[in-house]
Every structure is written in C-alpha cells, then in structure tokens.
A and B are shown apart, each in its own frame.
Chain A
C-alpha cells in the first residue's frame, strides 16, 4: 500500500485558530477529519499513515527549527509521498505548505504535492520545487481540491507521466512541458488571431515572462526635510473599525486622520486583520503602525513631517489585483499631497 504523510496547520488539526497559531510542530496520534477526507480520495490505493501539523505563525517565525522537526516526523514514517495543505489563500499556511513540500523532495528525496490558491505567496515561492494543485481561494474549494491532489499524488508515486499544468490542474511550475496538439501551429495561430480580432478570449501558449519589477526610486536626499507617510496592510483602524474593513479579502481600504495623535492606544486603535493573532496589535497598535516613534522623530527634527493621514488595508486573502488597485489609488493621493517617502508595514 502506498504510504502518504499529510501536513496541515493548527486550524485543520483542530487545535485552534489564530489564538493557537504559535504552537510548534506535532505529529498527531490519530489523523484528523481532513486527512481522512484525503485518504478517502485514494480509494484504497494509498493510506494516510500520519498527519503532522504546526501553527502558522510559529512556522513563519521559526522556519528552520520547525522545518527540522517536521522533516524528522515525516522521515520516521518512510512515506512514498507527502501532501501539504490545501492552504487556499492563507498566506502563512501556504508558505509553510510549499516550503515543507519543497524540503521533503529536496532534502529527503520523497515526492510531494501541495495545494493552494494561485495568488497565495507560497505558490509563487515554491511552484518550481513541488507540484502545487490550484485551488479556490477559500475552504469552499475543498471538495474540488482533494480529488485533484489525490489523483496527482498517485500518478507521481506510480511514476506515470505528468501532463501539463492545465491538464492536471496544478499551478504552472514555470517548467515547459511538451504537448501534442490536435491542430498544427499555423491553424492554432489563425484561430488565436480570429479570437483576438473578434474580442473573444484567447490563451497564449507561452505567457511572456513577468518582468514586472519596478526600479527603485532615488533615495531621499535629506530625510529631515521629507514628508513621510505611513501605510499598512496590517489592518490598523480606529477603535470600532468605522469603515468596516473586512478581516479578510478586503473590499476597500481606510484613510485615517492622525493629526494630533502621538500614540496609538488600546482605547483608540485596533486591528481589523483576521490573519494573525490580534491581541498584540489591539493592545498597542504602534507595534504594527509606529505612529509613536514617528511623532518623536518629527518633534526631534529627524524627519520633516509625518503625513497627516495614514492608509490601512488588510493583506489577508486580498487578491493581488485588488491590492494593486488600492495601492494605485493611495499612491496617487500621497503624491498629490506632497509626500516624499513611504513606510509600509506588513504583518
């Protein structure tokens, strides 16, 4: 029987949510429901012999140590393949799942697959080092994700030929795979042109590589004369979250006046972010958005001026396209207000 080890986070292990994100790696005595659901997809061809979990924050902050323990737990089981996730659009979980799958293959020589949403940062970071099945952006996609992951896992273990990303449902590894088309290239080119001319959808066979890096702007000559703005994706908002910024997949951003504010306190500010333990930020939001320090530096003449407004959004689960849109709008306002430089903090 093919042996599978499953890696999940503390939430799917049933340990707890964000309040438990700091728990260290553990191997479970009995496999949890999600691992059983995965096992069911193997239809008797493979068994999930063990499930290992770790808190998302713990993994992010203690990556090396966590990875070492997790790999040790996995190695004990001598599995044929390791499945991590699916992590959907949970950023820290996705990075952990990708990282572990990649390490299992690289360090232990054991095959691996993972699953997550294409915009999960873990996808871009690890898609070349493991197979990452493309899932929806939330657990709603679980019932579609598990069969795809199980199918690909069995193919890998059996050494069968893996088709293109499109055929198998994984996120393109940035690796070009040979395919035989039904129609010759010239016909495909004409079809593509007809679609393009008619404003219909067409899919390029070779997406141009992303060269979307922005050149750094020149340094600030004299920061003591500069007007500096604070922006955060950590969801810091005035107490009560007046704009109702969502805790995940934010549909808008907030702009808040901090004229006269020299310290963010538990009574005045909080976080709206749902992707990390909010206790520390709610207790003292300066830990995410350093208004207190910026005020001190402003008084001491170390910076020209702290911009009167700060901008806040929630990075968690927010699509890249949306983040980009918000950022464009924010940047436009900052430029119009004569801001010279930006400090952007993320959680």
Chain B
C-alpha cells in the first residue's frame, strides 16, 4: 500500500511493528511501532503516559515526512 501512495506522489510514512516486512514491501520512510495489536499504544501504561508514547511516535513520523531520504530509511530514534 505504501508503495502505491508514494507512486501517486504522496510522501508516506509507514508505522509498523514488523519492520522487515515493511522493507520487503518497499516502504521508504519507516517508523517502528510498539506491538502488533497496539502499534501506537501500550495498554500497561496509564492513559496519559500512553498518550505521551503515542505522541512521540506520531511526532517521529511527522519528522520523517520532513526529512529528505535517499532510499528505504528506518527512523529508529
């Protein structure tokens, strides 16, 4: 899916847990997520902490969209 978005001219960031699959399917901007059933959350945290975690990930995703990349890039930190 990511590839088709890119092909249409939309810079796209893929937020996912299984990064190798994302690399195989050809995403260019990749932000690793937390876990498969809750990529952007963690139920063991309380609501506020969890939101903080999610905000951090989304901000990283936005940052990746503002970053020029040459090829497939995983935004680790």
Contacts and interface: CB of A to CB of B under 8 A. Distances in A.
Does chain A touch chain B in the assembled complex, meaning CB atoms less than 8 Å apart? yes
B54 A280 contact: no
A60 interface: yes
A293 B16 contact: no
Interface string B34-71: 01111111010000001100110111011001111111
A186 to B, nearest CB: 38
B19 to A, nearest CB: 10
A293 B9 contact: no
B11 A218 contact: yes
Contacts of B66: 219-223
A335 B6 CA distance: 11
Contact of A281 (B14, B18, B37): B37
Contact of B13 (A234, A284, A334, A343): A343
Contact of A280 (B17, B38, B59): B38
B68 A334 contact: no
A287 B36 contact: no
Nearest to A278: B37
A287 B13 contact: no
A327 B18 contact: no
Interface residues of B, number: 53
Nearest to B27: A344
A345 B58 CA distance: 10
B18 to A, nearest CB: 6
Given A95-B18, A216-B11, 18 more contacts: A91-B21, A121-B21, A213-B3, A213-B72, A214-B7, A226-B65, A276-B36, A277-B37, A290-B54, A327-B3, A330-B1, A331-B5, A331-B10, A339-B10, A342-B11, A344-B15, A346-B14, A346-B16
7 contacts: A214-B28, A215-B6, A221-B66, A284-B41, A287-B41, A331-B8, A346-B33
Interface of B: 1-18, 20-22, 24-26, 28-29, 33, 35-41, 43, 50-51, 54-55, 57-59, 61-62, 65-73
